[in-house]
Chains A and B, each alone.
Chain A
Amino acid sequence: MLLYTILPIEEVMEGWDEFEPQYVELQQGSITMLVEPLGFGQGRIVRIISSDASNYLKPRLQPGCLISLIP
């Protein structure tokens, strides 16, 4: 992987050794999501995986949206 950026690599990578995200994989219908649990039964969507491209345009499924982890 090559980065082509004006930012020094030290700055981009700052804190990478402490960065260990814990993601949960969630299945909803035909969509698989990678969710970061936030507690209180909520999670924040990190990424969605779906073969139906229109899912990527749904406002409720954008990365950063909150989602209930309780079915």
Chain B
Amino acid sequence: MKPAVHRASTNYGDEATGAQKMEQAEPLVNPTLEAMRQLGQLAPPAPVESNIHCLSIVGQIEGHMILPPKNKTTKYEHIIPQLVAIEQSPMIEGVLIILNTIGGDIEAGLAIAEMIKTMSKPSVSFVLGGGHSIGIPIAVAARYSFISDTSTVTIHPIRLTGMVISVPQTYEYLEKMQDRVIRFIVSNSNITDEKLRELMFRTGELVRDVGTVLVGKEAVDVGLMDELGGLSQAMGKLNALIDENKEETDEGG
């Protein structure tokens, strides 16, 4: 399903003036009215300059395919350059990743997770609501992970739809993909390979599937998440990590 793309180039003269014009452009709509319409609330208070970037990953993680509009999606082609910009930005000192995702594209999810993992700036993830399937590698990729008391994490095998897997090669391919995810989770959290596989293939927990649902503290107990907590704990940890990071760079320089 490829979207039809038409080319319509508006001529803004040379590049510099084009970029300037866009910066100066007046908003098209009244911001107060727009906030009222979109969020059902008055416009939020004027932003305070923050050294923390909040990255929220919600809904389906959209990868190589545009999902139908019914899905709420997080687009990986937008998140990845954002992470690059965060890494480069002199103003941003830490990232808070808020996760409420039901999973999505494996490659896109792992790509985001790898980017978060290899960032030099401190990151703290906070699972709020749910961090299922491919949300788990993203949650554990951060330097420190929090889960709220009522949030859930669903661990289940990767599968295709339908009853039968056509050829042994398909099964092997799925196994390989699964191993990639398992390896990433194990190397970035305190859970063991055996424990994770046991949770993944457990029967009797999910109604129509094999796997396990971990609620809040259970995810911490098995070693998947680092700590049970809320927003203040997550922010506190992030600020502590930022301070640590600063000290290290001061010593290094």
Residues of A within 8 A of B (CB): 1-10, 12-16, 19-31, 34, 42, 47-48, 50, 53-57, 60, 62-63, 66-71
Contact = CB atoms under 8 A, between A and B. Distances in A.
Interface string B45-77: 000000001000000100111111111000101
B139 to A, nearest CB: 14
B171 interface: no
Contact of A3 (B69, B78, B106, B174): B106
B132 interface: yes
Given A7-B60, A54-B89, A42 B107 contact: no
Interface string B13-42: 001111101100101110000000000000
Contact of A28 (B12, B27, B102): B12
Interface residue SS majority, chain B: mixed
B78 A47 contact: yes
Given A6-B103, A68-B25, A30 B88 contact: no
23 contacts: A2-B174, A3-B104, A4-B133, A4-B181, A6-B156, A7-B103, A12-B68, A13-B67, A21-B4, A23-B5, A26-B9, A27-B10, A29-B16, A29-B17, A31-B22, A34-B5, A47-B77, A47-B78, A53-B85, A57-B53, A57-B86, A57-B89, A60-B22
7 closest A-B pairs (Cβ-Cβ)? A5-B103, A29-B18, A29-B19, A53-B85, A71-B10, A53-B84, A56-B81
A15 B70 CA distance: 8
B102 A6 contact: yes
B161 interface: yes
B114 to A, nearest CB: 15
A8 to B, nearest CB: 7
Contacts of A25: 5-9
Given A4-B181, A28-B21, 11 more contacts: A3-B103, A4-B105, A6-B156, A13-B68, A24-B5, A28-B19, A31-B19, A42-B28, A53-B82, A60-B27, A63-B78
A3 B102 CA distance: 11
Contacts of A2: 105-107, 158, 174, 177
Given A15-B69, A25-B6, A26-B8, A5 B29 contact: no
Q: Considering residues A26, A47, A53, which has the most beta carbons from chain B within 10 angstroms of its beta carbon? A: A53
B249 interface: no
